[in-house]
């Protein structure tokens, strides 16, 4: 997780909203990619969970877009996707063929923790009170998401005794 | 002499370089990170997809051109570099990338690499080094560590691995870097820098194979052990120091630019153009060249 060329001290509310939107968009895209990978490698339960997460990220992104447009409609954005790297998106190496729903949820939980830490680290640096309030709110949302995933994890039955190493994933058709 | 690439920053986003084709790499493969870094670096460069040619050999990693919207050519095993050079010489204004795995680059295509370096064609060669033949299910590759048990070395490899960094530095590559998907920002910046370098740029990416690679040498271990050269105070102008650091290949994971020749030599395509200008109308006609061969 990293950012490039963002100075949190001077972040405006518009840029902060744009940044938050891009973070949600990056996470949505990544969950979509991971779901595709799981489908290709015959891991449907993890695929379904990653699709569910992609939808959630899209929903959060849409809420932020609405807020952004209420105050800053038609104003150009100063932040780009090139400035953020895996802030809330799970890293590619989190995925494995035949991962269980529990493993998929655990990777999503790690991503929520990562996003929480991002906002928690940024808050003390921010000078603008409205931006500070926004990032504090987003940090708390990440805590809520962690709790929701944790609750789902607790409802899951234990993983089967067979692990991924007990299966052979034939190469996908060329 | 080497014309810099025209740059139009912020004209493109990484998504503009993403094709509709979905990667079939194993989930967790390091190549996903490399692909993402390529999208980022191309967006930062700001050239249109039709101004870019992405050439590869054969192997898992060589599927990469198909996952971009640029012109792509998934060639034959080990032949990415000769084809990339031909494309660049015929179309000097194209941004040319070549890619492949360590087997494609240092074994089957190993003979082409020194010649691409000594010609100094302005292209960026990205090797996704996973120390194994993954597509064919786990045979010993040129960079497999000594002692590694594989399906073709059941008792462990008896050979020392090729050292890609030392190899290209010894042949005089003017830009040499090493990255890992464990540091996406660093990798994207490095690929961008390689593309902007006016000459042959070699980027070795430690891109672990999750299926046949060493379980103890995956992205997580990279994240924990990598040593960014910038934080060590390495001066990339110092070729001898770069060679010294390169000797640690397989033992230490140094990331960043090992060597950048501060005085880029003339590229082959620039010299070809210069020769054409000098010869001008005095150059032999096509008909005369053929006649010379058949001794008319």
Closest B-chain CA to A5 = B185
Q: At what angle do helices A101-122 and A13-40 cross, to 10 degrees?
A: 160
- Alpha helices, DSSP H, located in chain B: 31-45, 80-90, 102-103, 113-119, 164-170, 184-196, 219-225, 239-246, 268-279, 286-294
Both B201 and B294 in a single domain? no
pLDDT digits (tens, 9 = 90+) for B266-285: 999 999 999 988 988 788 88
Both B207 and B282 in a single domain? no
Tell me the pTM: 0.92
Domain presence at residue B100: yes
pLDDT band at A161 (very low <50, low <70, confident <90, very high): confident
Helix (H) or strand (E) holding B100: strand B95-101
Residue B6, pLDDT score = 44
A167 has pLDDT over 70: no
Among partner residues A81, A92, A171, which is closest to B181 by beta-carbon distance? A92
Average pLDDT over residues A78-101: 92
Both B238 and B274 in a single domain? no
Both B253 and B294 in a single domain? no
pLDDT digits (tens, 9 = 90+) for B130-146: 999 999 999 999 999 99
- Is A169–B36 a contact, with Cβ atoms under 8 angstroms apart? no
Q: What are A135's two structure tokens?
A: 């990032």
Closest A-chain CA to B39 = A82
Both B221 and B273 in a single domain? no
Domain presence at residue B1: no
Q: What percent of chain B has pLDDT over 90?
A: 89
What is this model's ipTM? Answer: 0.89
Residue A157, pLDDT score = 84
Residue A3, pLDDT score = 77
pLDDT band at A132 (very low <50, low <70, confident <90, very high): very high
Closest B-chain CA to A174 = B24
Residue B8, pLDDT score = 46
Residue A6, pLDDT score = 84
Which of A121, A88, A119, A94 is closest to A107 using CA atoms? A94
Both B107 and B246 in a single domain? yes
Chain A residues inside the 8 Å CB shell of B32: 33, 92
- Is A36–B22 a contact, with Cβ atoms under 8 angstroms apart? yes
Closest A-chain CA to B32 = A92
Closest B-chain CA to A90 = B28
Mean pLDDT of chain A: 91
A165 has pLDDT over 90: no
CA distance B61 to chain A (A): 13
Identify the residue with better confidence: B177 or A162: B177
Domain presence at residue B35: yes
Domain presence at residue B8: no
Chain A residues inside the 8 Å CB shell of B24: 40, 171-172, 174
Identify the residue with better confidence: B115 or A156: B115
CA angle A42, A45, A50 (to 5 degrees): 100
Mutate to test the interface with B, among A85, A110, A164 (most CBs of B within 10 A): A85
Chain A residues inside the 8 Å CB shell of B36: 92
- Is B27–A95 a contact, with Cβ atoms under 8 angstroms apart? yes
Both B61 and B159 in a single domain? yes
Among partner residues A82, A86, A93, which is closest to B44 by beta-carbon distance? A82
Contacts with B23 (C-beta within 8 Å, 6 or more apart), sequence order? A37, B31, B32, B35, B63, B67
A166 has pLDDT over 90: no
Helix (H) or strand (E) holding A113: helix A101-122
Rounded-to-integer distance, Cα A120 and Cα A141, Å: 12
Q: Are B36 and B60 in contact (CB under 8 A)?
A: no
Average pLDDT over residues B175-196: 97
pLDDT band at B296 (very low <50, low <70, confident <90, very high): low
B9 has pLDDT over 50: no
Both B283 and B227 in a single domain? no
User: How many residues are given for chain B?
Assistant: 296
Identify the three-state secondary structure at position B182. Answer: coil
- Tell me which of A48-52, B34-38, B282-286 is least confident: B282-286
Residue B5, pLDDT score = 43
Which of B79, B28, B19 is closest to B213 using CA atoms? B28
Residue B41, pLDDT score = 96
Closest B-chain CA to A84 = B185
CA B89 to chain CA mean position, Å: 17
CA angle B63, B224, A109 (to 5 degrees): 80
Both B134 and B220 in a single domain? yes
Identify the three-state secondary structure at position B54. Answer: strand
Contacts with A124 (C-beta within 8 Å, 6 or more apart), sequence order? none
Domain presence at residue B120: yes
> What are A's interface residues with B at a Cβ cutoff of 8 A?
2, 4, 33-34, 36-38, 40-41, 43, 80-82, 85-86, 91-97, 99, 169, 171-172, 174
pLDDT digits (tens, 9 = 90+) for A20-30: 999 999 999 99
Both B183 and B283 in a single domain? no
A5 has pLDDT over 90: no
- Is A80–B10 a contact, with Cβ atoms under 8 angstroms apart? yes
Q: What are B273's two structure tokens?
A: 């153009």
Q: What are B109's two structure tokens?
A: 């295509």
pLDDT digits (tens, 9 = 90+) for B37-56: 999 999 999 999 999 999 99
CATH number at residue B222: 3.40.50.970
Both B160 and B271 in a single domain? no
- Tell me which of A141-145, B253-257, B286-290 is least confident: B286-290
Q: Are A18 and A68 in contact (CB under 8 A)?
A: yes
Is domain A11-71+95-159 in CATH 1.20.1260.10, yes or no?
A: yes
Domain that holds residue B261: 14-265
Rounded-to-integer distance, Cα A151 and Cα B28, Å: 26
Both B285 and B238 in a single domain? no
Domain presence at residue B5: no
Mean pLDDT of chain B: 94
Among partner residues A81, A92, A172, which is closest to B28 by beta-carbon distance? A92
How many domains does chain B fold into?
Answer: 2
């Amino acid at each position: 997780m990293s950012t490039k060329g963002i100075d949190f001290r001077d972040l405006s509310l518009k840029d902060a909203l744009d940044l938050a939107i891009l973070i949600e968009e990056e996470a949505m895209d990544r969950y979509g990619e991971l779901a595709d990978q799981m489908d290709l490698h015959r891991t449907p339960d993890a695929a379904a969970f990653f699709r569910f997460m992609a939808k959630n990220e899209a929903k959060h992104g849409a809420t932020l877009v609405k807020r952004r447009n209420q105050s800053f409609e038609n104003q150009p954005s100063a932040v780009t996707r090139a400035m953020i790297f895996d802030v809330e998106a799970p890293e590619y190496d989190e995925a494995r063929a035949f991962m269980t729903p529990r493993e998929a949820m655990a990777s999503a939980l790690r991503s929520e923790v990562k996003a929480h830490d991002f906002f928690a680290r940024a808050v003390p640096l921010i000078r603008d009170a409205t931006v500070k309030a926004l990032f504090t709110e987003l940090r708390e949302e990440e805590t809520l998401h962690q709790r929701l995933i944790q609750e789902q994890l607790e409802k899951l039955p234990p993983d089967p005794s067979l692990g991924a190493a007990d299966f052979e994933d034939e190469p996908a058709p060329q | 002499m080497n014309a810099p690439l025209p740059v139009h920053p912020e004209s493109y986003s990484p998504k503009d370089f993403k094709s509709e084709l979905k990667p079939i790499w194993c989930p967790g493969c390091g190549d996903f990170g490399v692909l993402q870094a390529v999208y980022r670096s191309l967006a930062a460069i700001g050239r249109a997809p039709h101004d870019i040619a992405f050439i590869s050999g054969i192997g898992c990693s060589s599927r990469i051109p198909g996952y971009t919207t640029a012109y792509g050519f998934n060639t034959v095993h080990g032949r990415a570099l000769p084809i990339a050079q031909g494309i660049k010489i015929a179309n000097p204004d194209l941004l040319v990338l070549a890619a492949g795995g360590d087997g494609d680059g240092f074994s089957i295509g190993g003979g082409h690499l020194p010649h691409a370096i000594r010609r100094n064609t302005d292209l960026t060669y990205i090797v996704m080094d996973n120390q194994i033949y993954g597509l064919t299910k786990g045979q010993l590759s040129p960079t497999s560590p000594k002692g590694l048990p594989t399906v073709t070395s059941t008792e462990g490899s008896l050979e020392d691995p090729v050292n890609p960094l030392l190899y290209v530095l010894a042949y005089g590559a003017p830009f040499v870097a090493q990255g890992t998907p464990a540091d996406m920002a660093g990798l994207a910046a490095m690929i961008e820098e390689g593309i902007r370098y006016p000459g042959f740029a070699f980027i070795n990416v430690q891109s672990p194979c999750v299926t046949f690679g060493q379980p103890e040498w995956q992205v997580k271990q990279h994240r924990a052990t990598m040593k960014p050269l910038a934080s060590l105070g390495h001066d990339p102008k110092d070729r001898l120091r770069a060679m010294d650091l390169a000797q640690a290949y397989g033992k230490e994971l140094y990331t960043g630019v090992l060597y950048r020749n501060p005085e880029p030599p003339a590229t082959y395509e620039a010299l070809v153009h210069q020769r054409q200008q000098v010869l001008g109308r005095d150059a032999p006609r096509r008909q005369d060249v053929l006649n010379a061969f058949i001794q008319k």
